[in-house]
Structure 1
């Protein structure tokens, strides 16, 4: 079992939900996010329900790239090693290009891609030294194609991190370091809580349980939940763009 798991963006949404699921499976957890008061609340909850696990917390703004390396190394020192690192922290903001919201699109791009690159660098530094580990990249089903309107930048960043993960996987072929790219479908979380009447949306607990089951299998790629996102993902890659554009 990958005993110790590091999750970024663990104070809310999918990160918080995955922490609960992994804790229930007996994993030790290294949790980081900007909102440390929410991490403290989560730690109290997790230890009350799972008193035999260890939970370590640190503040992390993933846009502070030096801090990313410092925090990952500190967690490694806390536990002696880190077995799995889940690159989860991200933003869902964005507006159609050319409408005056470059600042929002830029922040989404920097948070979802450049900060993810920093997290991968820090993770692989640890895994290469250990000659073991499991890197998990949380992408999105929207990465399957270019998406319209508010999703344009977000989808592009998620496609970017998927390509980044595949490149890392190619670089590590034959080595005992696994790389998984996870494509969540519509899972209710704080990032989309204002979006109403979305088809195929599942609640946070159901979605995070499916995410953790997929991650534990350590696949190269997985769409989660499998139904309907495996067939829908295939369709998105092959349908005419005018049809895909209606999905955004």
Structure 2
């Protein structure tokens, strides 16, 4: 059993939802995000509802790459090691290319790819030293194909982290270190709370429960929730581009 789990971007949305699911399973948690007041409230909730769990928090902006390495090592010291690290922090602030919002697309690309790389590097330093661990990278169903308009940069960044994870997994095939990539479908969270009339959207609790179930199985890749995203994901890889755009 992976007892001690680090989750980035844990102050809200999928990160907080996964923390609640893991706490219910009795795991010790290392939670980080920029908004410390939300982290404090989440820690207090989890320790009240699950007093058997240790929950430690630290502020972290994943775009401060030096701080990523420092924070991960501090968490490992707090909990006597880390068994699983979930690279979850990200953002979806994108706009159609060429419409004057390069700054927003650049911020999305840097947060979702470069800062994810920093988190993966920091995690792997710890896991290589321990010769054990489970690295989990949260990608997106949108990573399966290029997506239009506001999703273009977001989908590309999520495809990038999925490729990073697969390359690392190829290197570690015969190693005690496991790498999983999770491809969430449409799960309601703070990042998409303003998006309306989205097909197949599930609530945060349902989505996070499916994500944690997939993470616990430690499969190489998992689309969640399984229905309808396993068949949709498979179809997306082969459908004409015009058909894929209807899912955006």
- Could you tell me how far 1:83 is from its partner in structure 2? 0.2
- Secondary structure at the aligned position of 2:137 is classed as strand
The residue correspondences of 1:81-96 to structure 2 (distance < 5 A) are 81-96=81-96
Q: 1:5 corresponds to which residue?
A: 5
- Cα shift at 1:247: 2.0
Q: Give the corresponding residue for 1:156.
A: 156
Shift of 1:173: 1.5
What is the TM-score of this pair, normalised by structure 1?
Answer: 0.99
Q: Distance in 1 between matches of 2:233 and 2:93?
A: 22
SS at match of 1:158: helix
C-alpha distance after superposition, 1:119-166 (max 9, x if no partner): 000000000000000000000000000000000000000000000000
Equivalent residue number for residue 29 of structure 1: 29
Give, in whole Å, the separation in 2 of the partners of 1:242 and 1:3.
Answer: 45
Q: What secondary structure sits across from 2:191 in the alignment?
A: coil
- How many angstroms apart in 2 are the aligned matches of 1:30 and 1:245? 38
Q: How does 1:3-152 map onto structure 2 within 5 Å?
A: 3-152=3-152
Give distance in 2, aligned partners of 1:71 and 1:222.
28
- Residue 166 of structure 2 corresponds to which residue in structure 1? 166
Residue of structure 2 equivalent to 1:183: 183
The secondary structure found in structure 2 opposite 1:44 is helix
Q: Following the alignment from structure 2 to structure 1, what is the Cα–Cα distance between the partners of residues 180 and 56?
A: 24
1:199-210 pair list within 5 angstroms: 199-210=199-210
Residue segments in structure 2 that go unaligned for 5+ positions in a row: none
TM-score (normalised: structure 2): 0.99
Alignment RMSD, CA only?
A: 0.5
Structure 1 alignment gaps of length 5 or more = none
Deviations for 1:41-69, whole angstroms, at most 9, x for unmatched residues? 00000011100110010000000000000
| Ranges of 4+ aligned residues in structure 1 off by more than 2 Å | none
Find the aligned partners of 1:119 and 1:125 in 2 and give their Cα distance.
10
Q: 2:146, 2:167 → 1: CA distance?
A: 20
C-alpha separation between the residues in 2 aligned to 1:160 and 1:71?
A: 24
Task: Provide the rounded CA distance (Å) in 2 between the counterparts of 1:183 and 1:173.
Answer: 20
Secondary structure of 1:238 counterpart: coil
CA–CA distance in 2 between the matches of 1:67 and 1:97?
31
Q: Are positions 1:228 and 2:189 aligned together?
A: no
User: 1:246 deviation in Å?
Assistant: 2.4
How far the C-alpha of 1:220 sits from its partner, in A, is 0.1
